[in-house]
Amino acid sequence: MATRKDVADQAKVSVATVSYVVNHTKNVTPEVRARVEEAIKELDYRPNMIARGLAMKQTQHVAMFVNNLKNPYYSEMLAGAQTVASEHGYIVSIIMIDYSNQEEILKLAARGVDGVIVATASSDETAKLIGNSIPFAKCGDYVDIDYRSAIFESVKALKNHGHRKIAYLSGLKMNNRTHIRYKFVKDALKQNGLSCNPLLMIDGDERENTDEEAGKKAVRKLMESGEKFTAILALNDLMALGAITELHECGLSVPEDVSVIGCDDIQISRFCVPKLSTIDVSSFEIGSLLMKQLLGMIEHRRIEEKTVVAKYLERESVGDCPANL
């Protein structure tokens, strides 16, 4: 089995330089890096990851915290994170956390990982619990998602289809400071001269569930309110799909009676019937950017700020407002 010294001899560099290339700890010239990588390939050199981790006091292992493993959005984000992680010799584990047991979050953060990607709905709250105990990356710091233009475009599209009574299924607690999408929905309704009826703004439950069942429950609340509505904006695609199911069970058709828009553009949204109109937030790209941010923090490198601009995608679940409404 080839050793690091064998690689150094073949590439005509020092053992330290091979370490720099393998561990990504110092910059070397492109020519030197190419020689070392070619020697590694020819000799089939494989670093001893356990020994490397002990020497560097690193595990080359990071975790991604989520609070809904059923949402494919996180799977796509994980795929983006793992693609970048693999290029740097890291692996990523996905872990679901429960806000009802906050001590468990701290235990997980300390369980042999070099850093954490915080992808929970309440990322600021999770970040406070982690504190300075371990490096972490989350949206809103160096990586941001610009929902504003996409939400404004979706509301404008509904208005152009004749809709005036638009409901919002919040999923999360409706707070202007922490729930930026809720704020943008209200702003978009106002800019388009549409009413923001409080009875059509459906708050999240205590656990802030955002799955299909949460979408069904939110629609039941809408129906119980007695308020007329012809369109629904949902926090995410899962809630939107649950909303469509509940509407059908109430004898309403989508989009003939009610138009529905989700958010995230998970793969199933393109194949359900009707195909779901949604807001694409490029979850794969978000995952890769958050992983790059985390690696920069772990390796004490400069981090470049990035913004991903969300896009509204209109599909079959949006149609013209019924003539009698």
| Residue 96 phi, psi (nearest 5) | -90, 130
Residue with tokens 């694409």: 280
> 254 and 168, same structural domain?
yes
Distance of CA 303 to the CA centre of its chain: 19
**Domain-located, residue 121:** yes
- What span, in angstroms and rounded, lies between the C-alpha atoms of 174 and 194? 19
> 275 and 170, same structural domain?
yes
Percent of the chain with pLDDT over 90: 55
pLDDT score of 285 more than 90: yes
CATH number, residue 26 = 1.10.260.40
> 122 and 78, same structural domain?
yes
> 156 and 99, same structural domain?
no
> 123 and 13, same structural domain?
no
Local structure of residue 277 (DSSP, 8 states): B
pLDDT score of 48 more than 70: no
pLDDT score of 56 more than 70: no
**Domain-located, residue 315:** no
Range of the structural domain that residue 260 is part of: 146-281
> 122 and 88, same structural domain?
yes
Number of domains in the chain: 3
**Cα Rg of the chain, angstroms:** 24
What per-residue string of b and e applies to 287-311 under the rule 16 or more CB within 10 Å gives b?
A: bbbbbbbbbbbbeeeeeeeeebebe
- Which range is least confidently modeled, 33-47, 71-85, 235-249, 307-321? 33-47
Q: Read off the pLDDT of each residue in 308-313 and give the average, rounded to a whole number.
A: 97
> 227 and 272, same structural domain?
yes
**Helix, strand, or coil (residue 169):** strand
**Domain-located, residue 324:** no
- Which range is least confidently modeled, 4-8, 161-165, 217-221? 4-8
> 130 and 92, same structural domain?
yes
**Domain-located, residue 78:** yes
> 116 and 8, same structural domain?
no
- What span, in angstroms and rounded, lies between the C-alpha atoms of 286 and 106? 24
> What pLDDT, on the 0 to 100 scale, is given for residue 51?
47
pLDDT digits (tens, 9 = 90+) for 81-123: 999 999 888 999 888 876 556 666 666 666 678 888 988 877 7
> What pLDDT, on the 0 to 100 scale, is given for residue 299?
85
Q: Read off the pLDDT of each residue in 153-178 and give the average, rounded to a whole number.
A: 92
Q: Read off the pLDDT of each residue in 230-236 and give the average, rounded to a whole number.
A: 97
More confident of the two residues 49 and 102: 102
Local structure of residue 210 (DSSP, 8 states): -
- What span, in angstroms and rounded, lies between the C-alpha atoms of 38 and 81? 26
**Domain-located, residue 271:** yes
Mean pLDDT of the chain: 88
- What span, in angstroms and rounded, lies between the C-alpha atoms of 20 and 37? 11
**Domain-located, residue 292:** yes
pLDDT score of 50 more than 50: no
- Please state the length of the chain: 325
Q: What residues are paired with 65 via a beta bridge?
A: 95, 118
> 215 and 109, same structural domain?
no
**Domain-located, residue 52:** no
**Domain-located, residue 314:** no
pLDDT score of 147 more than 80: yes
CATH number, residue 171 = 3.40.50.2300
> 74 and 190, same structural domain?
no
> 277 and 184, same structural domain?
yes
